[in-house]
Chain A
């Protein structure tokens, strides 16, 4: 069974810092990987989606990379802002069952003003 791990579980940084969140998965037979943001008590907002054939995706200050063979993805946030404070989750879509997604436990980010 696919297992998705996110490190660190929590991160606190001063405003303006660049940071990297990590996601690893055990089965490299994924279809795609998606990064989400979740604010407390709210639903998930999709940030970036990387197909298994892609190496990276960018949106504004966010850049996500994927190394499928090593089972890793990173989310790079440039020039962090207090409004970036949230929990960030990665989810992999299984290659065998297109309807199944496996979530990591998330990284809780706090950006201090």
Chain B
């Protein structure tokens, strides 16, 4: 099984809402990533977890809060977002010693 799943597929939220994005993989991968992708742009790295510890935070605003509760699950908690945060949020995972990143289908987020 080389699948990364993400829920929800689509999310609409107001600027005062709190919501969470979820990512799951059962490949035993110990590195998990959050990317943000705006239309017609490449993915931008946000966070990397390695062995359930945050290893990279690319100066992301605190209104985005990542969490890795176990080796299979990665969450992104959203609070007080701005309309410019509307984008496709992609999760990816990579195995230890493995090189290929496997991406999920993404969550399309719209902030009103």
Contacts and interface: CB of A to CB of B under 8 A. Distances in A.
Contacts of A89: 42-43
B15 interface: no
Interface stretch (B59-67, B68-76, B78-86, B96-104): B96-104
Interface in B87-103: 88, 90, 92, 94, 99-103
B105 A34 contact: no
Interface string A69-113: 000000000000000000001010100010111011110000000
A93 B90 contact: no
A99 B103 contact: no
A101 B31 CA distance: 12
Interface string A2-36: 00000000000000000000000000000110101
A43 B90 contact: yes
A60 interface: no
B77 interface: no
A15 B106 CA distance: 30
Query: Residue among A32, A36, A101 with the most chain B CB within 10 A?
Result: A101
B99 A104 contact: no
26 contacts: A32-B99, A34-B99, A34-B101, A41-B106, A41-B108, A42-B105, A43-B105, A44-B43, A44-B101, A46-B100, A46-B103, A51-B99, A89-B42, A91-B101, A93-B99, A97-B56, A99-B33, A99-B48, A99-B56, A100-B48, A100-B56, A101-B101, A104-B42, A105-B41, A105-B42, A106-B42
Interface of A: 31-32, 34, 36, 41-46, 49, 51, 89, 91, 93, 97, 99-101, 103-106
